[in-house]
Amino acid sequence: MGVEGGMKCLKFLLFFFNFIFWLCGLALVVLGVLMQVNLHNTLNIKDPSASGAPIVVIIVGVVIFFIAFFGCCGAWRESYCMVTTFAVLVFVLIIIEVAAAIAGYVYRKKLSVVVEDSLADMIHEYKNSTADFRKTVDKLQEDWKCCGSNSSTDWRGFGPDGHSVPDSCCVKVAQNCGVGVMTNATKVHQTGCHDTLVKLLQDNLLWVIVGVLVIAALQILGIVSACCLMKGIRSGYEVM
């Protein structure tokens, strides 16, 4: 049973909305995977709670992906049952997304403690860890031009003299450049990595929260379109 005129436009509008949702879902899955890899491989953050945000983003992305596909089929086939189910599922998803956004905002305040603990573990394990682990820590300090967690003195237990730091802390990285120059500001970065990493993670998380809320706003329009299409299908008009 079809619809006509303005209702036909609603049918294609809903199809278009769902195509956008499908792309958004795919983007969220990719973003969640990148966040997970960045947290645990690039930044070496071991705290299990840090995986919460990426996993939620991935799950929401997968759910959006399949609901959007379901909505597209319902709109194309003009199935009242499928469109109704789509509207209900999207409404539930919006509630979950808003709750996740609020949780993510609250979690932003915990990032400082998570990063502090992770950096402390990295410094403690550095000497007795694998070459890959040390390479990751060195790359972190070289890329962000920082040393230790809060300052270069966090590496006081690194060398037997208590005044040496890893070469990756040096302003100009070279072999053994960090020996005995821990507090020498001309040779070693004195700023710790903590504040820089916290700001980076908070900014990234904020953008994810904004993105989720924007998607939720678009989904509200999708629900409105779905409800109008449901009404048109039920009325029994035919598509021209």
CATH number at residue 160: 1.10.1450.10
Instruction: Look at residue 140 and tell me if it is in a domain.
Output: yes
Measure Cα distances from 129 to 116, 137, 182 in Å: 19, 11, 21
Instruction: Look at residue 199 and tell me if it is in a domain.
Output: no
Residue 119 and residue 104 in one domain: no
CB 136 within 8 A of CB 107: no
- Rounded Cα distance, 53 and 35, in Å: 8
Q: Which residue has the higher pLDDT, 138 or 28?
A: 138
SS3 state of residue 188? strand
Residue 73 and residue 163 in one domain: no
Average pLDDT over residues 125-152: 89
Average pLDDT over residues 27-32: 81
227 Cβ contact partners less than 8 Å away, ≥ 6 residues apart: 87
Is a pLDDT exceeding 80 seen at residue 76?
no
Rounded percentage of the chain residues whose pLDDT exceeds 90: 20
- Rounded Cα distance, 147 and 150, in Å: 8
Residue 32 and residue 100 in one domain: yes
Residue 116 and residue 91 in one domain: no
Residue 62 and residue 99 in one domain: yes
Total residues found in the chain within this entry: 240
Instruction: Look at residue 240 and tell me if it is in a domain.
Output: no
- Rounded Cα distance, 104 and 102, in Å: 5
Residue 147 and residue 231 in one domain: no
The angle formed by the CA atoms of residues 115, 28 and 55, to the nearest 5 degrees, is 45
The whole-chain average pLDDT of the chain stands at 81
- Residue 153 pLDDT level (bands cut at 50, 70, 90): very high
Instruction: Look at residue 69 and tell me if it is in a domain.
Output: yes
Average pLDDT over residues 107-130: 84
The amino acid at residue 64 is I
Instruction: Look at residue 200 and tell me if it is in a domain.
Output: no
Is a pLDDT exceeding 50 seen at residue 240?
no
Instruction: Look at residue 27 and tell me if it is in a domain.
Output: yes
The number of folded domains in the chain is: 2
Instruction: Look at residue 129 and tell me if it is in a domain.
Output: yes
Q: What is the pLDDT of residue 237?
A: 45
Q: Considering the entire predicted model, what is its pTM?
A: 0.67
Q: Which residue has the higher pLDDT, 194 or 205?
A: 194
- Residue 239 pLDDT level (bands cut at 50, 70, 90): very low
Q: How do residues 212-235 score in pLDDT, each as one tens digit?
A: 888 888 888 888 888 887 877 777
Range of the domain at 128: 112-194
Q: What is the pLDDT of residue 117?
A: 84
Average pLDDT over residues 136-162: 91
Residue 11 and residue 52 in one domain: yes
Residue 176 and residue 66 in one domain: no
Residue 101 and residue 19 in one domain: yes
- Rounded Cα distance, 61 and 40, in Å: 20
